[in-house]
Structure 1
Amino acid sequence: MTYTGSCHCGGIRFEVDGDLDGAMACNCSICQRKGSLLWFVPRDRLRLLTPEDAAATYTFNRHAIRHRFCATCGIHPFGEGTDPKGQRMAAINVRCLDGVDLDALPVHRFDGRAL
């Protein structure tokens, strides 16, 4: 299935393909503050509909994940990184997807603080 999503102001818009069967809530220092619910997909399944430079980037700690956000409205629609096997991944904030019933989505809790 193809989902569409955006930041609040629409400065970052995207499409993502996949089967959204759950999300992850992480309690690391940034995810806890953002309140995002993450869905991980291969990076090539994420297509930006706005220019790449519309998304600002924040990294911290090991600088392994590029947290992408809108410099205008501040919303974090996705992040980019690699999985343990070295594959490029995107972490989609499902709260930024259009038409998703968040209450019907199973959420897995991940202890990111422990890393």
Structure 2
Amino acid sequence: MLYQGSCHCGKVAFEVEGELTGAVRCNCSICSRKGALLWAVPHESMRVLAWGDDLGRYSFGNHVIAHRFCRSCGIHPFAEDVGEGSGRSAYINIHCIEALDVAAVPVFDFDGRSV
């Protein structure tokens, strides 16, 4: 299925192809503060449609994940592995997917604080 999403103001927009069977609630220091529910997909399944100068990047710890956010409204629509080549993942914040019944998506807890 093809999903479309964006930040609050719409300056950062994306689409992602896949089967959304569940999302992860991570308790790491950034995810718990954002309140994000993440759907991991192969990086090539996501396509950023709009970003310009509005797509910010934040990385911490071992710097293997780029947490993306809109510089205008501050919303974090996705994150992505920073490595090169195949095997990369994108992590979609399902709260940013249009017309999605988030309450109907099974949520799995992940202990990111221990990683």
TM-score by length of 2: 0.93
| 2:54/2:72 contact within 8 Å kept | no
Counterparts of 1:43 and 1:102, CA distance in 2: 22
Residues 11-59 of structure 1 show CA distances to partners (whole Å, capped at 9, x for unaligned) of: 1011000000110000000000000000000111111111464310000
Task: Specify the alignment match of 2:105 in structure 1.
Answer: 105
1:49 maps to amino acid:
L
Taking every aligned residue pair, what percent have the same amino acid on both sides?
A: 53
2:38 maps to amino acid:
L
| 2:24/2:110 contact within 8 Å kept | yes
Q: Which runs of 5+ in 1 are unaligned?
A: none
Counterparts of 1:40 and 1:52, CA distance in 2: 24
2:16 maps to amino acid:
V
Q: Which runs of 5+ in 2 are unaligned?
A: none
Deviation at 1:99, TM superposition (A): 1.1
CA RMSD of aligned residues (A): 1.5
2:79 maps to amino acid:
G
Alignment of 1:3 onto 2:3: yes
Query: How many residues are matched?
Result: 113
Structure 1 segment 4-43 matched on structure 2, within 5 A:
4-43=4-43
| 2:78/2:92 contact within 8 Å kept | yes
Moved more, 52-61 or 37-46: 52-61
Counterparts of 2:71 and 2:52, CA distance in 1: 13
Counterparts of 2:16 and 2:104, CA distance in 1: 19
Structure 1 segment 76-115 matched on structure 2, within 5 A:
76-81=76-81, 87-115=87-115
Counterparts of 2:62 and 2:82, CA distance in 1: 13
2:41 maps to amino acid:
V
TM-score by length of 1: 0.93
1:72 maps to amino acid:
S
